Structure 1
């Protein structure tokens, strides 16, 4: 089940929201984010609706509710869609601060946000309102088309545009099947509707779905590589869309101006090593796309593999925001099958993993970070993580503290690579 959160908070006073990670792609996707807020409300309360740290309108909330894509997990509805409700809801409250729920006055204390979930009924595929021919290469791409190719199969082979059936996963062209998601190897599926040159409705596929007509079909690439395909037509409210399109029963490139190969390398120079006693699973978000943490790097004890580093100047950009990569570090002993997919509250896996890695390159520098997966969870990672190499400083996690050259804190640390290769070292 896919989750997301909308926090209903008083706007009649200061509202302090725990901010999501600054990794360059915060969009309105169905992802669990435990947003918290503090507010003082001595009188009537006006509610603000927040989705992944971004304010959305009551109309957008109502549309999601009416389409059965969004529901309140706890069943509590402050009346956002009632005729008497517009951008705010008024309630009666005591002049003294008290702990609240989503339908009572906000208080000067941490409160649990309202939660929405994607209705199981929304797994039905929506009929696109525009033909797949509206997909085109992204105008923002500054990279020249790739040329050449081995003429055979594998990661260096050019993809045969419009040749493979939509039911064929393109593993012969470098894509790595993610079978444990139950979507025929695809890392994410999005059925889209288009209006006014933008995607105005997205239905995200779940286990049991497959790549179908009118849908975007995203895929994983080997460690060190990233997918090259996404359309120029993107979400009207900031959602990202990515992968191959299924049109006329065939798989088609959506970004041939960037590459005719499905997987392209990042800038390199970053890897992860497992010095722990059990398997370590590091899961990248599928972006652009569903933004679920489904792209796996699984390390057995003693093994090392690459982490993909996108170049901000040459990779996906939307609404003026460039791209970095975000990884979720699961507890030691967690397999990719368990860790690299949607998690559940109270369990430290998937999107609830305790620690994130941020990896990106911009203006000739590669930046690396380790940080708490906040505000989603305050759970501590039971192990040690350190970035090693010729770096601008130090960055290490141990016993709930992130330590750099300026000291330790409970949030995170960041360094830049000066030269050579940097390594995330995970140990017990």
Structure 2
């Protein structure tokens, strides 16, 4: 495995005027790299909190490696570039699966977080008809629940859990779940303190050896509202799906946000209080995609981790939000042409948005306004859109 470390203080100063003590960058965006921002092609699934990044050109297929960052620290060699292979225990090689998710409702990006988020007990799941294989735990929710939990491929072995379709929720394990667009799961292992390796997959609810499901953070809701300050505006005549990685969890890109033709959708932008300061990463599919394409693809079919774009979004310790766009290196290395897909630009809707030198952040006709990707800083109260055109 080859790794490298790059100082980015100059890039920060010239590109976003960000607080050097409150921003971290990384290369890639993959299983094992929760993405946050992009500077000069350095996309990384990072907590925001330092001034450097490191990345590997190779990926560990069997070991997710989320990143760890404190102020002024340098990430470890465990960080790595986009993976083309899912972990061995979550392998799913079917690029197309039957539709078993309800269509996404049109969502106004300008919508504010709704009230009434449940802080209650775990439901019993008896109201759903989802798949529950022998030895697996029934998914506790049905569609349209007040907790804002969204089932993922409920006809597959995962039965609704935010796990790979052929992966089951079993006793003595952590079982993540997904939340509707704009919301994030507020349940994870409170003792997990490692971005890399042990603890990084301990998201969601815990199932003990007797099959009892427990809520690890009982005073927190199942799904909490994100910052509601960034979304997708789709000007195309076809839908586009953005697939958020599950982190903490197996980091597969399973959580869908669908922007309908000519419509908009809010993205989950996690606050700085999210698990260990990490943030959100999205693999964005081709035009015409739906929630069904939020799965592992392959080098012959650019969906999921082979989708054409990677978006990042997260709040830094300084209170600013950083959002980024870049072409997906896996999409390009597989022979797909960036010029064959749609364009993306970040557009400020309101408030103070700090753009890179040149006053724009876009990837158009195969080239980004900053080499390999760019980042926009949103000040307090600002809102912006990823405009697809």
When the two structures are superposed, what TM-score results if normalisation uses the length of structure 1? 0.57
- The whole-number CA distance in structure 1 between the counterparts of 2:120 and 2:315 is 27
Shift, 1:28, TM fit: 7.8
Shift, 1:375, TM fit: 5.5
Residue pair 1:24, 1:323 contacting (<8 A) in 2 also: no
Output aligned runs, 1:161-200, within 5 Å.
Answer: 161=122, 166-171=137-142, 172=145, 173-179=147-153, 182=156, 183-188=158-163
1:371-423: CA deviation from partner (whole Å, max 9, x where unpaired): 122366444161111111152122111111111xxxx42x1011112453211
1:341 aligns with 2:295: yes
- The whole-number CA distance in structure 2 between the counterparts of 1:116 and 1:272 is 28
Match 2:216 to one of 229, 254, 257: 254
The 3 A distance-change label for structure 1 pair 376 and 386 is: closer
The 3 A distance-change label for structure 1 pair 29 and 114 is: closer
1:53 aligns with 2:56: yes
Aligned to 1:294, what secondary structure does the other structure show?
strand
Match 1:385 to one of 335, 344, 348: 344
- The whole-number CA distance in structure 2 between the counterparts of 1:290 and 1:179 is 16
Shift, 1:300, TM fit: 1.3
Residue pair 1:27, 1:240 contacting (<8 A) in 2 also: no
- The whole-number CA distance in structure 1 between the counterparts of 2:343 and 2:119 is 41
Aligned to 1:368, what secondary structure does the other structure show?
strand
1:401 aligns with 2:367: yes
Aligned to 2:287, what secondary structure does the other structure show?
coil
Aligned to 2:179, what secondary structure does the other structure show?
coil
User: Which residue is 2:49 aligned to?
Assistant: none
- The whole-number CA distance in structure 2 between the counterparts of 1:358 and 1:177 is 23
Match 2:279 to one of 321, 324, 327: 324
1:134-164: CA deviation from partner (whole Å, max 9, x where unpaired): xxxxxxxxxxxxxxxx9xxx96122315966
- The whole-number CA distance in structure 2 between the counterparts of 1:399 and 1:426 is 12
Compare relative contact order (CA 8 Å, sep 6+) and give the higher one, 1 or 2: 2
When the two structures are superposed, what TM-score results if normalisation uses the length of structure 2? 0.63
Residue pair 1:162, 1:250 contacting (<8 A) in 2 also: no
- The whole-number CA distance in structure 2 between the counterparts of 1:180 and 1:344 is 22
The 3 A distance-change label for structure 1 pair 160 and 267 is: same
Residue pair 1:224, 1:266 contacting (<8 A) in 2 also: yes
Please, what is the CA RMSD of the aligned residues? 3.9
Match 1:210 to one of 168, 171, 179: 168
Number of residue pairs matched by the alignment? 284
User: Which residue is 1:306 aligned to?
Assistant: 266
Aligned to 1:351, what secondary structure does the other structure show?
helix
Residue pair 1:23, 1:358 contacting (<8 A) in 2 also: no
Match 1:372 to one of 297, 308, 327: 327
- The whole-number CA distance in structure 2 between the counterparts of 1:233 and 1:52 is 26
Residue pair 1:231, 1:254 contacting (<8 A) in 2 also: yes
- The whole-number CA distance in structure 2 between the counterparts of 1:222 and 1:387 is 23
- The whole-number CA distance in structure 2 between the counterparts of 1:115 and 1:28 is 9
Listed as ranges, the gaps of 5+ residues in structure 1 are 1-6, 10-14, 32-50, 71-112, 124-149, 189-205
Residue pair 1:169, 1:186 contacting (<8 A) in 2 also: no
Listed as ranges, the gaps of 5+ residues in structure 2 are 7-23, 35-53, 64-81, 93-113, 127-136
